[in-house]
Amino acid sequence: MVTALEVPADKLIERLALYLKNNVPQVKPPEWAYFVKTGAHKEKPPSDPDWWYYRAASILRKLYKSSEPIGIETFRTIYGGRKNYGSAPEHFVKGSGSIARKILQQLEQARLVRKVRGKGRILTPQGRALLDRLAFEIMIELVKEQPELAKYLPVNIRNKVLRK
């Protein structure tokens, strides 16, 4: 079966963000999300009005990739960047912890993520199944565009897709 790691990350995150926006009512940006920067290293807030859903989708994919629980501080480091200090040298600055925390709390309410006390968050079986299902849909679309990718599909599904 196709996993979420076997499809292009950008397509998976885009599809997952759209799914979260349309089908998961627990995940929605708070009222302050349109005015806040995503970290001290940024000069402006995100220009994309759906950035909250894309960050949530990216967090879900990061949790899928990890075999261990991931905490808020790790997400702050993942989404950090280089801060421009003018003529002084640039340095790495962590991203916003509040954004990561709120998104993880919303994903917990949606039962896609669960907390491991003292260690961080992990993906639930329901969350893993969602990512695998979307990855499978993406892979079928990719096989229709590029038939040489059919070798990554199971035989019974490969035959159905290639016949259409």
Residue extents of the structural domains in the chain = 9-163
State the pLDDT confidence band at 2, using cuts at 50, 70 and 90: confident
Which CATH fold topology does 9-163 show?
Arc Repressor Mutant, subunit A (1.10.10)
State the pLDDT confidence band at 132, using cuts at 50, 70 and 90: very high
The dihedral sign for the CA sequence 94, 98, 101, 103: negative
pTM: 0.91
**Residue 98, token pair as written in the block:** 């509040």
**pLDDT tens readout for residues 92-104:** 999 999 999 999 9
The pLDDT value recorded for residue 140 is 86
The pLDDT value recorded for residue 86 is 94
The pLDDT value recorded for residue 146 is 81
